[in-house]
Amino acid sequence: PATNNAVAQKIPVNYDESKVPPYTLPDVLTTKSGQRITNRKQWESHRPELIRLFSEHVYGKMPTQPVKVRYQTTSVDENALGGKAIRKQISVFFTEYPQLPPMNILLYVPKGTTQRAPVFVSMNFQGNHSVSTDPGIALATRWLPNLGEGKVVNHQATEAARGMQDRRWPVPMILARGYALATVYYGDVEPDHPEGWKTGIRSVLSSPAGPDSWGAIGAWAWGMSRMLDYLETDPSVNAKKTVLLGHSRIGKAALWAGALDLRFAAVIANESGEGGAAVARRWYGETIEHLNAQFPHWFCPQYRTYDNNPNALPVDQHQLLALIAPRPLYVASAVEDQWADPIGQFLGAKATEPVYQLYGRPGLEVSDHPAANQPVGKTIRYHMRTGVHDVTNYDWEQYLKFADEQVK
Ligand code: GCU
């Protein structure tokens, strides 16, 4: 089942294309007051309105105050991964809030390159130690989901948890292509459960509790920008060439972070689904109601008012994707991940094209959803891979090619 949550399971799911009711997406080039956008300047003055609408109705308001940080490099290995990489681990301390544990960055930089490496920036689900069997990675000490058949015990990592997600992180392939990889366990910013905020950044940086108070997705997005703040200080990487990549719930957060923070050079949302790249007005697979039932801590309280009425949302997700423009954007789905609505994600990406056109950037260049394993597009790209909800080498091959063409 797409959800094992008892409440969410009672909510009807539609997987029948012929039962999708008709809907109309808000026009991407029309402002809230009905003004038509015809040039870049008008689009750029419309951006704050969209960000405000996504803050008030979807993700909640982001804190705007700067935070003081201290970077502590806890380890450097000049000869990691059989001599192919420099591995650094950096703890980001939020010094005004000593009660908060640090956010720990794991950074691999390819060896033997003379230039600063372009860098993939991405959060992971199960701790930095889950990304690779590299024994030098510090085990996460924060609350972890009890996944992996005894590898995580009482929400704490064991030695056996090393590399348990390495299938999703082809680090040698990324390095061989000349890219660095920076990753953080998302639970360092906020553990992913309804009480998780109490030990995360939202416990200290909260917008006043109200319908637009930020949720965990906002917190993770905030953390992505803090990763970038650090990368800007590290001479081994090129922080102007960052590719922000997120899978699933982290894909939702990556889109929000990329929309808010123009320093990210490109954004990839892998199977981000509802609340990510999939348009909410299309009744197919997961709905806003499912999201709020299963993950009450992810979005702002106001988002719940759209549970049964996505048409009342003043925005839809294509407008979030459009906030990435004119930067390269990759939206990806999978055949057996109907929960995330591949067609809804394609339509979200498709509907951003008029904005990219304002910048003279080519979009998906097709009007119909492509067959499986047929990436389409240029600056905006899309594919639907065969297989299940996951991040595979196939996905990474496409992302590396995309980064080579669009960012490197
Ligand atoms: C659940 C959730 C999705 C989410 C996914 C994930 O399936 O319903 O919205 O994207 O988890 O993060 O893997």
Q: Model confidence over 272-282: pLDDT tens digits?
A: 999 999 999 99
Structure token digits, residue 351: 């509907």
pLDDT score of 113: 86
**Three-state DSSP state, 398:** helix
Task: For residue 114, name the pLDDT band (cuts at 50, 70, 90).
Answer: confident
Q: Is the pLDDT of residue 6 over 60?
A: yes
Ligand 1 within 6 A of 249 CB?
yes
201 pLDDT higher than 60: yes
* For residues 371-379, average pLDDT: 98
Check: complex ipTM more than 0.95? yes
Rounded Cα–Cα distance for residues 29 and 27 (Å): 5
Active-site residue numbers?
248, 389
| Percent of the chain predicted with pLDDT > 70 | 100
pLDDT reported for residue 108: 98
276 CA to middle of ligand 1, Å? Answer: 10
| Tokens (6 digits) for 20 | 């999708």
| CB of 286 sitting under 6 A from ligand 1 | yes
Scanning the structure block, which residue is given the tokens 């090619």?
A: 401
Q: What's this model's pTM, rounded to 2 decimal places?
A: 0.98
Looking at residue 208, its pLDDT comes to 73
Tens-digit pLDDT profile for residues 65-99 = 999 999 999 999 999 999 999 999 999 999 999 99
Pocket test for ligand 1, best of 249, 255, 338, 388 (most atoms within 8 A of CB): 249
Give the residue whose CA is nearest to atom 1 of ligand 1: 3
- For residue 238, what are the contacts with CB-CB under 8 A and spacing of at least 6? 115, 116, 117, 118, 119
Query: Residue 258: pLDDT above 80?
Result: yes
Task: State how far the Cα of 144 lies from the Cα of 73, in Å rounded to an integer.
Answer: 23
**Section 384-407 average pLDDT:** 98
Q: Is 273 in the pocket of ligand 1 (CB under 6 A)?
A: yes
Q: Of ligand 1's atoms, which has the minimum distance to the CA of residue 125?
A: 12
User: Residue 317 to residues 56, 59, 170, 350: CA-CA distances in angstroms?
Assistant: 14, 12, 30, 11
pLDDT digits (tens, 9 = 90+) for 68-77: 999 999 999 9
Cβ 184 vs Cβ 227: under 8 Å: yes
pLDDT at 207 over 80: no
Backbone dihedral angles phi then psi of residue 275, each to the nearest 5 degrees: 75, 0
pLDDT, one tens digit per residue, over 304-345 is 999 999 999 999 999 999 999 999 999 999 999 999 999 999
Strand partners, 242: 119
pLDDT averaged over every residue in the chain: 97
Mutate to test the pocket of ligand 1, among 9, 11, 122, 248 (most ligand atoms within 8 A of CB): 248
pLDDT band (50, 70, 90) for residue 5: confident
Alpha helices in 112-215 (DSSP H): 171-176
Q: What is the reported pLDDT for 94? A: 98
In single-letter form, the type of residue at position 400 comes to L
Q: What ligand 1 atom has the least distance to the C-alpha of 271? A: 10
pLDDT value, residue 7: 84
User: What does the block give as tokens for 214?
Assistant: 């930020």
Both tokens of residue 190? 């906020």
Q: What percentage of the chain's residues is helix, strand, coil (to nearest 5)?
A: 35, 20, 45
Angle at 190 between CA 183 and CA 6, to 5 degrees: 110
Does any ligand 1 atom lie closer than 6 A to the CB of residue 192?
no
pLDDT bracket for residue 3 (50, 70, 90) = confident
Rounded distance from Cα 263 to ligand 1 centre (Å):
27
326 residue type, one letter? P
CA 249 to ligand 1 centroid distance, Å: 6
In the Cβ-directed half-sphere of 125, how many Cα atoms lie within 13 Å? 20
pLDDT (mean) for 154-182? 97
